[in-house]
Chains A and B, each alone.
Chain A
Amino acid sequence: QKEVEQNSGPLSVPEGAIASLNCTYSDRGSQSFFWYRQYSGKSPELIMFIYSNGDKEDGRFTAQLNKASQYVSLLIRDSQPSDSATYLCAVNYGGATNKLIFGTGTLLAVQP
């Protein structure tokens, strides 16, 4: 089992719809979780982080964490063509360590 897993996509949604991106992780000791966005040819940039079970909202973005199910998701409301990018889930693996592990990323395409 991979440490952090994501569906590689592409995930295609129409403009204005909700995009739902999912991520599972294998280590129950993981404590912090991050969503990064990466445009083609650019470096990853942080969208959101989440540490506690439940939902965390920031503008059009909502991160959801369920530690019992080892599952973290990102919802993007009112998707825009400018949201088209690869979304990377990252997990601070193994609790209090520096091991920041990334999933394979999900390519999101928002159709105008």
Chain B
Amino acid sequence: DTAVSQTPKYLVTQMGNDKSIKCEQNLGHDTMYWYKQDSKKFLKIMFSYNNKELIINETVPNRFSPKSPDKAHLNLHINSLELGDSAVYFCASRRQLNTEAFFGQGTRLTVV
């Protein structure tokens, strides 16, 4: 069983479209994250939820809107996609503060 799973794995779309990425974890963790990894491999934190509550919202354009329907799921919706949004988006979860984070397999988003 995959601990943290994301769908889709690949997403190719045109500029201006709206798209969503879904994430689910079956580890019973309370905290979930979205990270963006650019072409230089830098993993930048975007959002973090703890028990469905948004607790970290880094300087991300408001075209990006996370949503956590329950503590096992964290989705990311992106409006009006831009070329610069092309990256790999990783979902992660962790049990509690100061413990390791487990990552999903990533979603490679390409905006053309």
Contacts and interface: CB of A to CB of B under 8 A. Distances in A.
Contact of A46 (B44, B50, B100): B100
Contacts, number: 64
Contact of B100 (A34, A88, A97, A98): A34
A49 B97 CA distance: 13
Main secondary structure of the interface of B (DSSP, over half): strand
B41 A31 contact: no
B26 to A, nearest CB: 16
Q: How large is the interface on A (under 10, 10 to 19, 20 to 34, 35 or more residues)?
A: 20 to 34
Contacts of A102: 35, 42-45
A45 interface: yes
B48 interface: yes
B33 A100 contact: yes
B1 to A, nearest CB: 16
